[in-house]
Amino acid sequence: MSNEGGRQISVGSAQESRTVKLLVACGILLAVVIAADPAAWSLRERVLLALVAVLSVMAGLLVRRDRLTDQRLAAERRQLSIAVNNIPQGLVLYDASARIIICNQPYLDMFGLSPDVAKPGCTMQRLIAHRKETGSFDGDVDAFCNAIIQTVSLGKATRQLTEAPGGRAIEIINRPLKSGGWVATIEDVTERRRADEKIAHLAHYDGLTDLPNRILFRERLEQSLKAIQPGEQLAVLYIDIDEFKSVNDALGHPIGDELLKGVAERLRGCLKETDVAARLGGDEFAVIQTAIKDRSETTQLVDEIHSAIRQPFDCMGHLITTDASIGIALAPVDGVDLDQLLKNADLALYGAKGDGRRTYRFFEIGMDHRARARRSLELELRQAISDGSLETYYQPVVNIEDDKISSCEALLRWRHPERGMISPAEFIPIAEDSGLINQLGLWVLNTACAEAASWPDHVRVAVNVSPVQFRSPSLALNVAAALAACGLAASRLELEITEAVLIRDDEAALDMLHQLRKLGVRIALDDFGTGYSSLSYLQRFPFDKIKIDRSFIKDIAGPGASSSIVQAVVNIAAASDMTTTAEGVETEQQRNLLYILGCTEMQGYLFSPAISAAEVRRLLLSHRGRAMSAA
């Protein structure tokens, strides 16, 4: 105890008085700093420092012995400690000599520090050295501390991103105070950083397949073009999944998404480490093949991709077989400008589609002209549908034994005002690519049924159904509506499908076949023998007719195995009570051999080519007249 001016002042009281003044001054100083330049502080930092300022002033005012009892003083100190230590961010307040004034518990927890070291009075060098001892700092202690002290002494803030134990990301911001010293706020930004990384990933990668998207693909291609070495080439492959829209329409988007993910995975398996696969959108993929010496390496890669994609995909219980059209452009021979190279790859893809899909094409000079011509033809086809320029021709199918007409196959024809008759082989692929095939198919179905209603009752009409049409859920409804509109008996309508209709998805295809069968229509399997699994479909669905592909009929009189194949098909059909029709019969020798082998019907130029509706009516009338006179 000491005596001053008649009053007794304890040493403890003098110490507490100094503490009061220090805390109050600290609080006022922080408040002045915030008010002097609020724009320099983030909202989080302003709130945090304001809270510390208020708490400091409150602490200073509340610790005075002449206003508070010892019991209340202890309670307020506990409350102050609780408040500071429950701030979500870490907080360290340094004085002008780089010593700790305040250090809260979250800071200690973030780095696993001891409160016996990180406490008021501890120097910054000792604090960082303690972090190095405990494994949360691996740099040079003195260099690190000197850099921060020098920066804040110049009135500049510092920001560091460091890693804490457990792989957590910690952001430390040091902001200088105008009266000296600085405040450090420490925040765990692990989740925010992960969210930022996820956003950045989504900006450059496809969300479904996790392949690079169009943006990243262009960046990678630009980098690869700059890295081409003398004597090397780079290939860009544009890949389009054939008939993907049909899968989506018939089976739904979840199945389509599974197919796309399966294609992406198989693409990855075909590439070397330096190559890049990307999904550009929809069913469009792309590949960058780097460091190739010869285009044969690209051809080999294309073969591997086709082989991989053609294997069946199990998509949520649906076994789907698909294929791909691929366009290829090479750098530098087809261009070194990024956009020109991509345009050429797209033109090559367009060429592959134009050649019937399921194939590939390298870019060639002149493809641009063909693409423009093809697009022009598509526009003209749309116009032809609307103005009635399309016609339906009919090719008779006759009984081999007596040459009587049993049915006629409806075939679409387009009479162009300038080019004359355009082959279906030229415009049907365009219709399939553009989605016009459904509209065309429905028109042929209605036209053919209406025409057949005027024929003799024993003559049926056959209508081809494309794979795209077959995947439409409304196909059976459209067939029923066409029959009802003209009054044609369902048994007089034959729907011809190819194996391509079936191999995309067995179960959905068989379900549609059963729907059609319930209507009473007949189902014929066209181009039989050209696929790899035709026999399995004969076991799973009772077709009414098998049409033997013309490729077997052409060589039936030769030394090859064609006649044996035809005989086997006839036997299989007879065992299941199915009719057999030979396509492309052109000679009497072929007819006689088919008769000997037991084939039921024939179709071809030997009897009649495809003829107009008026001509087929006259032909049927003449046949009926001959039949009546013979009777």
* Residue of 446, 415, 409 whose CA lies nearest to 611: 409
* Residue of 303, 342, 367, 326 whose CA lies nearest to 225: 342
Whole-model pTM: value is 0.56
Last residue of a domain, one of 322, 337, 365: 365
Its domain, for residue 176, covers 2-194
Domain shared by 186 and 236, yes or no? no
CA dist., res. 99 & res. 96, Å (int): 7
- Domain annotation covers residue 435: yes
| Cis peptide bond prior to 609, omega within 30° of 0 | no
Q: pLDDT by residue (tens digit) across 276-312?
A: 999 999 999 999 999 999 999 999 999 999 999 999 9
Segment 247-251 long-range contacts (CB within 8 Å, at least 24 positions apart):
247/320, 247/322, 247/471, 247/504, 247/505, 249/471, 249/472, 249/473, 250/471, 250/472, 250/473, 250/505, 250/508, 251/315, 251/318, 251/320, 251/505, 251/508
CA dist., res. 586 & res. 234, Å (int): 50
- Domain annotation covers residue 522: yes
Q: pLDDT by residue (tens digit) across 510-537?
A: 888 899 999 999 999 987 765 544 566 6
Q: Looking at 238-247, 330-339, 497-506, 532-541, which range is the least confident one?
A: 532-541
Q: Count Cβ neighbours within 10 Å for each residue of 369-405 and write b for 16 or more, e otherwise.
A: eebeebeebbebbeebbeeebbebbbbbbbebeeebb
Give me 102's structure tokens.
């305040």
pLDDT value at 227 more than 50:
yes
Place of tokens 């006179």: 629
Mean pLDDT throughout 321-348? 93
Give me 290's structure tokens.
């780097």
Decide: residue 162, CB within 10 A, 0-12 exposed, 13-18 middle, 19+ buried: middle
Domain shared by 288 and 348, yes or no? yes
Q: How confident is the model at residue 168 (pLDDT cuts 50, 70, 90)?
A: confident
CA dist., res. 22 & res. 16, Å (int): 10
pLDDT value at 503 more than 80:
no
- Domain annotation covers residue 180: yes
Alpha-carbon torsion angle 190, 193, 197, 203, nearest 10: 140
Last residue of a domain, one of 365, 397, 424: 365
Residue 317 belongs to a domain with what CATH number?
Answer: 3.30.70.270
Last residue of a domain, one of 365, 382, 407: 365
The pLDDT, as a whole number, for residue 532 is 44
Single-letter amino acid code for the residue at 233: Q
Domain shared by 540 and 571, yes or no? yes
- Domain annotation covers residue 630: no
SS3 of residue 268 by DSSP = helix
Domain shared by 151 and 271, yes or no? no
- Domain annotation covers residue 513: yes
Query: Per DSSP, which regions of 438-544 are E strands?
Result: 460-464, 493-497, 522-528
Residue 61 belongs to a domain with what CATH number?
Answer: 3.30.450.20
CB–CB of 98/153 below 8 Å?
A: no
Mean pLDDT over each residue of the chain, to the nearest integer: 85
Q: How confident is the model at residue 432 (pLDDT cuts 50, 70, 90)?
A: confident
The pLDDT, as a whole number, for residue 199 is 81
Domain shared by 555 and 597, yes or no? yes
From its phi and psi, is residue 4 left (phi > 0), alpha (psi between -120 and 50) or beta? beta
Q: Which residues pair with 171 in a beta bridge?
A: 161, 187
Residue 524 belongs to a domain with what CATH number?
Answer: 3.20.20.450
Q: Can you say whether the dihedral through the CA atoms of 302, 305, 307, 309 is positive or negative?
A: negative
The pLDDT, as a whole number, for residue 2 is 43
SS3 of residue 364 by DSSP = coil
- Domain annotation covers residue 281: yes
* Residue of 529, 619, 623 whose CA lies nearest to 580: 529
- Domain annotation covers residue 620: no
Domain shared by 213 and 247, yes or no? yes
Domain shared by 529 and 422, yes or no? yes
Give me 126's structure tokens.
């000792």
CA dist., res. 92 & res. 129, Å (int): 16
CA dist., res. 231 & res. 444, Å (int): 55
Q: pLDDT by residue (tens digit) across 48-94?
A: 556 665 556 555 555 554 455 667 767 777 777 777 778 888 999 99
Q: Looking at 112-116, 169-173, 248-252, 476-480, which range is the least confident one?
A: 248-252
The stretches of 117-189 forming alpha helices (DSSP H) are 124-134, 141-153
Higher-confidence position of 506 and 252: 252
Domain shared by 536 and 456, yes or no? yes
Give me 518's structure tokens.
């319930």
Domain shared by 215 and 346, yes or no? yes
- Domain annotation covers residue 117: yes
Domain shared by 440 and 336, yes or no? no
Q: pLDDT by residue (tens digit) across 114-160?
A: 999 999 999 999 999 999 999 888 889 999 999 999 999 999 999 98
Domain shared by 183 and 225, yes or no? no
Segment 195-204 long-range contacts (CB within 8 Å, at least 24 positions apart):
none
**Could you give the number of structural domains in the chain?**
3
CB–CB of 568/598 below 8 Å?
A: no
Decide: residue 439, CB within 10 A, 0-12 exposed, 13-18 middle, 19+ buried: middle
DSSP 408: E
Q: pLDDT by residue (tens digit) across 13-56?
A: 555 555 555 555 555 555 555 555 555 556 556 555 566 655 56
Domain shared by 498 and 559, yes or no? yes
